[in-house]
Amino acid sequence: LEVFLDEGQRNDWFASTFITTFAVISTVSFVLLVPWEWTRRDPIVDVRLLFSRQFGMSFLVMMAVGAVLFSTTQLLPQLQQTTFDYTATLSGLSMMPGGIAMLMLMPISGFAAGIVQPRYLIMLGMSVVAVALWHTTSLTPDASFSFFAYA
């Protein structure tokens, strides 16, 4: 899987037999892994844990957080550089206010975690992220630097 994802773009994805071979190997390995994990008494990755209410929900929330972080920290700068002709530096500068806000709020949220239940802090944080992502739905080809800095 690592070779498939790492080398895919360089080798024109499925136009390359090398990449296609590794994609097939990865798929077959994953398909064979699932029954293996279900039938072993001591599995390498215990997929049964996903049926635990707390672990399963935590897993889904962390997947959602990962998707949001990927979209905001990876895809948005690429969009700026390809569509809006930003340099890498300018794209990074537009992302900097969000990083500074996180830097300033980390100690405050750490202190607040001792006072308020963490689930309320998580809900507050997810609400702020939802509002910020909702703000990006108004993105147009005429968007300015301040639009991205605010988002």
Question: What's the pLDDT tens digit per position in 52-97?
Answer: 999 999 999 899 989 988 888 888 899 999 999 999 999 999 999 9
Is residue 1 over pLDDT 80? no
Segments making up each domain of the chain, as ranges: 1-49, 52-151
Element (H, E) at 63: helix 53-70
Whether 45 contacts 54, CB under 8 Å: no
Mean pLDDT value of segment 117-131: 90
pTM as predicted? 0.63
Compute the C-alpha angle 142/148/149, nearest 5°. Answer: 135
